[in-house]
Structure 1
Amino acid sequence: MAKPPATPPTATPPMLRRVNAGKLLGVLIRTGVMTGTGLIEATGMTRATVHAVCNDLISMGWVIEHDPGRDDVSVGRPSRRFEFNSRAGFVLGIDLGAAKTTVLLTDLRGATIAKAGRSVADVTPAQRTELVHETVVEALASAGVTDGEVLAAGVGVAAPVDRDGSILVDDEFWRRFDAGLANRLTELHGWPVLLENDANLAALGEHWRGVGREVDDLVVLLAGERFGSGLMDSGRLLHGSRGGAGEMVFLKLVEGVGDTHGIARIARERGAEAVADPAVETTLRKLADDDPVTAELVFTAAADGDEVALGILQDVAGRTARVVATLGILFNPELVVLGGAVAEAATALLPDLERQLAGFTSTPPRVAVSSLGDAIVSVGAVRHALNYVEQRALDLHLSCRPE
């Protein structure tokens, strides 16, 4: 005998109050100062409900009330005016790169309050965790913010991370990234730590604050030392079943690419090979001045018209075009953004890249370079933390700060 369908829970007054609070807070988070009338129009609630819910949110610390305003033509009681309290707490965005960790401290609208960074090159996982902790302490201290005022921290790591925030550890290479960083930071500071793949965070950051705003079918290609991609479809991040969506190991199978080496690495290695060959005439030799050749020097030499450097960048553009074309064919994004520390210099590659891209696919995506520079991952980490806070706002305890 079939069981009767479960009876849905009865909508109790506390439940309705909570639903209304979440709806109203969501409106205020995305707007500025609003009157009670404006909130009524935006939410469909009655005036009494809007005022009651706003009173609740004010007492919780999420909303502040401004002095009443009076329109010159209005008659009667001045309108109450409400605003989301962006200083109700703070979040951290942490980019744990291969050579450097960067920490952004922001308010709840994502405005940067403090920034700190440290080198983490050539250290053990335990040392890296300690350096991240020290960088966090520096950022908090410079702004006079306590651990109790931090609501969450987003952390970007160069490893696959699943939807639950766990690093893929089945592969020996990725296992080295699982150093217990999240648990350790929570033990030291008390706030939740949200791990995410660095390229995924780059996509979040670009969609929020970069050239990818209002583009919901988006690929962000981190193209520095190695290629990594963050994929967004209809405004949602793609993780795959175990966090591996967007991993670029498949490039080993792509003709004309053959590995995951990024723009900076290829430019640097090709430039070093040219300088090491005494038969090659190039201004790179003089620019390097016995120091190691860098990707930046190759781009500089090309901008000055050096034929060898121009040839290197033409090859890099062709190789990158194959990478972009492959992503375009597989995921059909509207836009591919080149991001990371190499982004600004990569502008010089766009003409050659776009010309060659058209030869690889009949539906090439638009290509742009990120305006966020080397902050792209930490900005995305901030957005990741803010998403967590906004989704759980009514369950969080605030150490409120008046604006």
Structure 2
Amino acid sequence: MHKSALLGLVMSLAALPLQAESLKTEKVTLDMQTLASGLNHPWAMQFLPDGSLLVTERAGSMRYISKTGVKSDVIQGLPAVHAQGQGGLLGLVLDPDFAKNQTIYFSFSEPRDGGVNATAVASAILDGQTLKQVKVIFRQAEAIDSNYHYGGRLVFSPSGELFITLGDRGSRRDGAQELSGHFGKVVKVNKDGTPAAGNPFADRADAKPDVWSYGHRNIQGAAVHPQTGVLWTHEHGPQGGDEINIPAAGKNYGWPVITYGEEYGGGVIGQKTKAGLEQPLHLWVPSIAPSGMSFYTGSQINGWQNNLLIGSLKFGQLVRLELTGDKVSHEERIRIGARIRDVQAGPDGSVYLLTDEDDGKLLRLSPQ
């Protein structure tokens, strides 16, 4: 077959209607389609101006997925990543001026000398199949020999500063209470990685000037509320005690002094409340293992407007939360049947999910 004819056949096949599974929810019945498969533990996605997606894979790859589900070759130019355990290529966000500067930001577990590693964030210019001018703009201060709790979600504030979520790395939980380091923190930086103006501890000699909030365990969901412009996050508890917070400047969210979870296999960790420490906005006991977070602002899925959507790794669910102001007024669990790593509301009004598997999938939920 002639090369041009073969290409035409491939593209026509890619555009064929996808098989859809009917997904009944409280508000509406949706079509769930597998738009793409064969992804290696995909972790994060962002929509590009043309409607295609940019996707990270934890093993250390980044690629495009077209609107019809066609996967590109791996994008070249990524730095080395420590792809072990929970580590690898993680969060992703576009520069607010991406249409002009083609700049992206991504988080990853960075290998360092001596067999240790830490969460890092880099910026790069996305030029077709190549990343150019790759620059690490942030490095977690403490590098250790651990494969756990990297955090890694990235989100821009409405005024253009970058929030970075950081885990306690598993074995250093007490560091979440120490302002002198980056364990268990949300940090807020400028695009070049310098501390953002107005950070709460900038004038303290015993604190990192980029720290925004602290006392977190492992934040793997972050989104800015579409109406208030305020950051919302969720984090993994231990055995029980996953929680949603609205991290405010300088506030202490308690880990590991307070938690609604317990040690794996049983055993008390701290207490549930303590004066001066923030209580979660919403929590899950038992844990759902939350990952990914997006506010739905489209009009196509009736009844979901301004709802908060969160993936569940443990139960293979999409969790839909109705909000009344800053309170959760209703929760719906929608069974997907696979570990959900990321959730994004698309520009077409559909909801897109990434499944965390060896044969990871991009799923699209759209109204029938």
TM range (shorter): under 0.3
More helix by share: 1
More strand by share: 2
Give the structure, 1 or 2, with the largest relative contact order (CA under 8 Å, sep 6 or more).
1
Q: TM-score, normalised by structure 1?
A: 0.26
